[in-house]
Amino acid sequence: MASTSLLKTSPVLDKSEWVRGQSLRQTSTAIVRCKPVAFSALNVRASSYIDELVKTANIVPGIKVDKGLVPLAGSNNESWCQGLDGLATRSAAYYEQGARFAKWRTVVSIPNGPSALAVKEAAWGLARYAAISQDNGLVPIVEPEILLDGEHGIERTFEVAQKVWTEVFFYLAENNVTFEGILLKPSMVTPGAECKERATPAQVADYTLKLLQRRIPPAVPGIMFLSGGQSEVEATLNLNAMNQSPNPWHVSFSYARALQNTCLKTWGGQPENVKAAQEALLTRAKANSLAQLGKYTGEGESEEAKKGMFVKGYVY
């Protein structure tokens, strides 16, 4: 099964307009997930529902193209992300269905090393995926997630992230990926979830921006952070802290749990709760929209939004 995401951006570019070296600097504001699409639907035109969203709401559809994490042989109980086999054919079909961006998530675990093998495998897979996506007219979202698992401090996260991002951008360049035509979806630099010494938003911003400045070319148009198990408020405060001064990139968000948690708990599957759940989602969307402008204050947040969402060994 392949899950679909919808990214609200500026107008869609026709495939004929895509050329290597062209700047695709487009501002992202929100992500909405819709129901999974069966693999057999690849040969079918995009649904009228998707067509209508594109026409009336200026929402650009995209799709998660990796096939999940599996054990990496020869490593320290680490994983690698599968899905490169047949990706070119699938990507071409997704484009014909109306997709204009793709997503591939791989992870690195600090408690398990990380081993040089795991880091190289993660970076190479992301680079091949990105090159294949661009060859088929899709903008790749490159997602090298550093898992929150562990008792390590923020300095250790910074050290590992430097190595991972170095490898990722080395192999992106080796595969002739156009940096102007990607979006980076990384983890923020935070302590491990089980570390007793917590970091303030100012500290997270300082380490994360330092890492971006050392490793990310300014040609990359957007940095769309994942939340990775932070609480809704924590993820928003950290994003806000990073936007207190101008950056070479658009520094924004691509959250799942940090947008959806309170919304889903409010809804609880009950029809009578739909309106309240929608309002909860809108509250989070507005908060993060302000944060990517550096204008979020944190006032009036619910206790639910302040609860941590870390899950050890989290998979999806």
3-state percent breakdown (helix, strand, coil) of the chain, nearest 5: 40, 15, 40
| Residue the block writes with tokens 């402008």 | 293
Task: Kindly tell me the sign of the dihedral angle through the C-alpha atoms of 220, 285, 274, 58.
Answer: negative
In this structure, are residues 66 and 104 in contact, taking their beta carbons and an 8 Å threshold? Answer: yes
Q: Is 25 exposed, middle or buried (0-12, 13-18, 19+ CB in 10 A)?
A: middle
Q: Which of 78, 145, 167, 185 is catalytic?
A: 185
CA distance 144 to 224: 12
Among this protein's residues, is 295 annotated catalytic?
no
Q: Is 313 exposed, middle or buried (0-12, 13-18, 19+ CB in 10 A)?
A: exposed
Q: Which of 143, 145, 167, 232 is catalytic?
A: 143
Among this protein's residues, is 143 annotated catalytic?
yes
Q: For 74, which DSSP code?
A: T
Q: How many CB atoms lie within 10 A of CB 98?
A: 18
CA distance 185 to 229: 15
Nearest to 161 by CA among 220, 228, 72, 93: 228
What residues contact 243, with CB distance under 8 A and at least 6 apart? Answer: 251, 291, 292, 293, 294
Q: For 298, which DSSP code?
A: -
Query: CA angle, corner 76, sides to 82 and 67, nearest 5?
Result: 10
Q: Phi and psi at residue 146, in whole multiples of 5°?
A: -95, 110
| Residue the block writes with tokens 């001064």 | 245
* Paired tokens of 161: 């992230």
| Residue the block writes with tokens 């992301």 | 126
Query: Which active-site residues does the annotation give?
Result: 143, 185
